Structure 1
């Protein structure tokens, strides 16, 4: 199977980095790494990882990015090819990484205080040590000096010699977790703690030169050697409201704060400044990366954000190989299949949108300029019909007794069927704007609906059955081995695919009058049984669409 990864949302942002060349902005959230081109803030690459990402770092030449994951996985991703060309599993859960550019060494920190050195060339372990009693939160490197900060409240200064690290000093100036570390070019080590202190240490003496106290913990630090400024983030994280976040820009020469940024930052845990100092990027708990641009001061430039809520549904548009996703936050996003970038975004009524359907005439290219119709339904139990023209217009055609989970137009676009938790199928006349029939027969909620080329209704249910209906209510029942996740019809209307909750995909032939014939079973491996749905594109290719940790993966199946 071939794969493509598209982001529904980023997940909680844990690491934001500009590349040394300034061309890329990368950040990690959930099980994904997202790389944007700075020239037009366009999505360039998405890398999918084995477990939640804890930290990322660019190689000094900027063509590769290194990721450290919760399960110990280390990957070196090639930006040109879009694949991992080196990977290894560390013996401990990773929390942070940094790179010694002069010697091409990766330094890793762990959940239980571990520190290891690995070759950037082949990822072989060079040296490993138990550095702290608790989690290593930050690592900073300058020449042959290495500093590590931990949840044990200690900062340790190490010296690297002959592929080993020797402990030089223990710096004790924080009375809570050490969250962030950075070296400045003036031989200072700057540390930030949960106690709200920003401490300046001389290196290699380890003398505390200066302390600055802030109200909340210092979750992130960054510096720009050209302008000689220090960026700090003060955030309450778990103990207050995210609205209290503050970014401060500190002039290291004048030793004074020259700007404060307070713009509903919401739990920032990582900040980065591009090599020229023109842009600042920061991200955190609200799954958003914000960017500021420098004129005289730094001003808000834009943000990178996708769905905030859980993704409920994924569909191809009728005439193009583009994807549309609907989320519990009430948004509908149109994705470009080739790049994974967002092309359109709609905010629809209802706090928990669960399903949508396009009329057969709908197309992504004509979303806001034709007579295309979109139907939406959700927890508010209303079915709303949208005319996707330049001026968005809609009307409510009716309601269900319980939550609506699936919608489908017939081939002419004149009728709409809807189904949900109550187990009934409603048939609506779009032109007359009225309910014309209710079909009853399922013992569980309706999960999926579609129309065959003969205008027969195909329904899937939690009761483990697929039923084929006429408008008059006649039915044929097919038994599957598990709850039916969804059903998708091929564009010629003569074949459909069903997906069940235990990872089974079945292909069915649809004759005009007789019972459908099972053509093929496709069993997914256990590791892939988080199956979300199956769907056909306009060429008749079948895709598995699975979803976890705010990412969706498209896998093309050979039939």
Structure 2
């Protein structure tokens, strides 16, 4: 018979390192676009995040040290960014090569700045404040040139005329004011809008386009100077942003203008969440972007054209940024600026190409792992609580507070995700859902109505309830199906975990022992063991045969929210409400690694098939990616051991050859205090050892003396080494100026550490000296008697 191949030895994981984070980069407000490059500038609390549109990654950030940003503007030549903060400071930044704040000054406004605009030459900046004032700043000479008063309430937007020194503004009284910078006076008030004006744009030197929340777009002839618009276009939605389409891009909307026809195209973005194109001369809608499920009912709050490209960006109310192709206004890429609290996440797709993220919202987000592009899935009507993925990696199921479960499918070629069927039947929130592990035949859901439902899936992907079981006396937090698809485990707030048969829904056994509610249950992939994690801070491993507790792992100080098996069931990873991630070895019942993964509760945890990467998500809206670096760490440890052995051998060779100078230098360089002590002891046996020590210490650098002084503190704690310690200390004090000692890090604490032991050694030497004197006195008396 042929010999069986030996099985590869299982390698335990010892360390996971953080390789990247997906953090929030947009928390609300305006999004600006750089004029010469493909960058978005997004407000994120007290930072401005600069995001590359193509990669979706944050490349730079402008930090304001805890002072929240209220507004920002980019100069037309892209040379500078100006930001305003809640503390009424204006900051000018350079950002092209390296991020640097070049100037900070007071805004002089009484309340925060909410609107800004540069003139076409990038030399003047207008700021509109919440106090109703408008100020104009000369960015070259660095002083305030104008201060315009008279606008009631908040100044929502300001805009410079492209050809003359005129400034237009809109405030809370719904009027548009025209200010002449030459005379510093208000020259005109345009009063046609009946609600807040949200944007002002110039199509050319003669035409001003204004839009607002009164569902109209107004066109003004600024050359003739009338107080009434020459055209009012009803758009039937609250408009938050308009884009004026350049002539060369009008063909993108299959629009052909007649030879003598004047006018231009206007794109509106507003509360209905659709982009529409209007013709200015006749006021007709000539194009509407296709219905996009990800935008319906979201609504747009901002939109901008990306110069020099055939693209535009539109920002939704739920912090999503859509990157659209002007050809048909099709969404090419969607980025999520803020995920809110992350409740659950799972990997999806062949080779784990995507990740499903469940946040504190009714929408499910599916991210591309490489590009960070996102699909927002909107089928549930209330907050989604849980997701799980089938073994084929293309289908998954979700559960929600709307009392339903949804079955989804992702197309392998296009990666488009669609909802196949919605399962209704629970009477309360469905807080847990799980999939079978082999063929796609059934799924199981658990609800706050305290029931488990086993759903069968037929060939046409229809869901039918096979069994309904009254499982627990409180909310069901977690359910899982065994690897052979024959058993179901459930964990509840009633402190119990239970085992059920899939075939008939009957209970097999109950696991009792936790002192508080159970948050997570997991089957071991190899053994007949069930793991449970609880709000009592412990993880328990149970035998499926007799329902006894095999092990209890304690390490978290608060609730353990999630636990998963890795390394073929020999290890576990857990996360808790303390934000910590812990790696456990089951055989030894010990935690071998603890990392601070999140600043708040860590709700979500999953791993890839090979356990080479772990992904965690928390209430801090951060998704962290952890890579297994066990092999790298082992190689580093082996190299460090080999290097240490070589160093020790080299030191021994130097000592044997009596090359004390090189040996001591080597010991200081390697930070080996006891090796250095051996060198000093060997040196003291030499006849001119003290002279050599003084000579050598006089040529040491200050950092080397600092390191040697730390050695002395260590040596001085032991009376056997006190002579060598004080010999070195005397040489250091003799060859170092007092002012140099002050430059040594923590020199005061070093001296404080030396004093008590030195006093003890001094008293002991005094006592020995007295005893020696008494012995000498006794000897002299004996000699006299003789």
TM-score with structure 1 length normalisation? 0.74
Partner of 1:160: 139
Distance 2:310 2:78 in 1: 29
Which residue number corresponds to residue 473 of structure 1? 547
Q: What is residue 412 of structure 1 aligned with on the other side? A: 484
Structure 1 contact 356–377 (Cα < 8 Å) conserved: no
Q: SS of 1:161's equivalent?
A: coil
Structure 2: gaps of 5 or more residues: 1-16, 222-228, 238-270, 274-297, 397-407, 411-438, 631-786
3-state secondary structure, aligned to 1:182: strand
Is it true that 1:249 corresponds to 2:217 in the alignment? yes
Query: 1 CA distance for matches of 2:317 and 2:216?
Result: 19
Of 450-459 and 125-134, more deviation after overlay is shown by: 125-134
Deviations along 1:450-498, one digit per CA (max 9) or x if unpaired, are 1111131100000111111123321132223322121011162222112
- Once the two structures are superposed, residues 74-127 of structure 1 have per-residue CA deviations (whole angstroms, 9 ceiling, x without a partner) of 454555673434645468432111122347122222213322323345423235
**Aligned: 1:338 with 2:414:** no
Write out aligned runs for 1:56-455 (5 A). Answer: 56-71=31-46, 73-78=47-52, 82-85=57-60, 87-89=62-64, 92-102=67-77, 104-121=79-96, 122=98, 123-142=100-119, 143=121, 144-162=123-141, 164-172=142-150, 174-185=151-162, 187=164, 188-205=166-183, 206-221=185-200, 230-234=209-213, 246=214, 248-253=216-221, 255-262=230-237, 264=272, 269-273=301-305, 283=315, 285-287=317-319, 311-317=342-348, 320-321=351-352, 322-327=354-359, 329=361, 331-342=363-374, 345=377, 347=379, 351-358=382-389, 361-364=391-394, 368=409, 371=440, 373-385=442-454, 387=457, 391-395=461-465, 397-399=468-470, 400-452=472-524, 453-455=526-528
Contact 1:54/1:70, CA 8 A, preserved across alignment: no
The 3-state SS of whatever aligns with 1:109 is: strand
Closer, same or farther in 2 for the Cα pair 1:80/1:390, shift >3 Å?
same
Note if contact 1:534-1:542 (Cα within 8 Å) is conserved in structure 2. no
CA distance in 2, matches of 1:305, 1:120: 22
- Computing the radius of gyration from Cα coordinates, the structure with the larger value is 2
Give matches, 1:509-548, under 5 Å: 509-510=585-586, 517-518=589-590, 520-524=592-596, 528=599, 530-548=601-619
* Structural RMSD (CA): 4.1
Change (3 A) 1:374 1:233: farther
Give the aligned partner of residue 534 of structure 2: 461
Say if 2:600 and 2:618, in contact at 8 Å, map to a contact too: no
Alignment partners' CA distance in 2, 1:469 and 1:91:
48
Q: 1:332 to 1:112 in 2, by over 3 A?
A: closer
Q: Shift in Å at residue 166 of structure 1?
A: 2.6
1:357 and 1:374 in contact (8 A); partners too: no
Contact kept? 1:326, 1:355, Cα under 8 Å: yes
Distance 1:209 1:328, change over 3 A: same
**1:327 Cα deviation after fit:** 4.6
The answer on whether the counterparts of 1:489 and 1:535 sit within 8 Å (CA) in structure 2 is no
- Structure 1 unaligned residues grouped into runs of 5+: 8-30, 34-51, 235-245
Report the counterpart of residue 25 of structure 2 in structure 1.
32
TM-score by length of 2: 0.55
Which residue does the alignment assign to 2:700? none
Please give the alpha-carbon distance, in whole angstroms, between the structure 2 residues aligned to 1:87 and 1:101. 19
Contact kept, 8 Å, 1:226 with 1:277, in 2: the verdict is no
Report the CA distance shift for 1:433/1:500 in structure 2 as closer, same or farther (over 3 A).
same
1:497 paired with 2:573, answer yes
Query: What is the CA–CA distance in structure 2 between the aligned matches of 1:290 and 1:65, rounded to whole Å?
Result: 12
* Contact map agreement 2:335 2:372 (CA 8 A) in 1: no
In structure 1, the residue corresponding to 2:235 is in which secondary structure? Answer: strand
More moved, 78-87 vs 476-485:
78-87
Q: Counterparts of 2:607 and 2:206 in 1: how far apart (Å)? A: 54
Are the structure 2 counterparts of residues 102 and 314 from structure 1 closer, same or farther at C-alpha, using a change threshold of 3 Å? closer
CA contact (8 A) 1:354 1:377 kept: no
Question: What is the rounded CA distance, in whole Å, between the counterparts of 1:550 and 1:69 in structure 2?
Answer: 13
Q: Distance in 2 between matches of 1:251 and 1:352?
A: 42
Displacement, 1:410? 0.9
Distance across 1 between alignment mates of 2:308 and 2:51 = 24
How far apart, in 1, do the equivalents of 2:569 and 2:335 lie? 37
Alignment CA distance shift 1:415-1:6 (3 Å): farther
Going from structure 1 to structure 2, the CA distance change for 1:552 and 1:383 (only over 3 Å counts) comes to: farther
Q: Does the 8 A contact of 1:357 with 1:375 survive in 2?
A: no
Residues paired across the two proteins, number: 495
What residue is the counterpart of 1:507 in the other structure? 583
Equivalents in 2 of 1:465, 1:552: separation in Å?
24
Please give the secondary structure, in 2, of the residue aligned with 1:250. Answer: strand
Q: Which protein has greater RCO, CA pairs closer than 8 Å, 6+ apart?
A: 1
Q: Decide whether the 8 Å contact of 1:248 with 1:260 is kept in 2.
A: yes
Q: Is the 8 A contact 2:360 2:384 kept in 1?
A: yes
User: Following TM superposition, by how much is the alpha carbon of 1:529 offset from its aligned partner in structure 2, in angstroms?
Assistant: 5.4
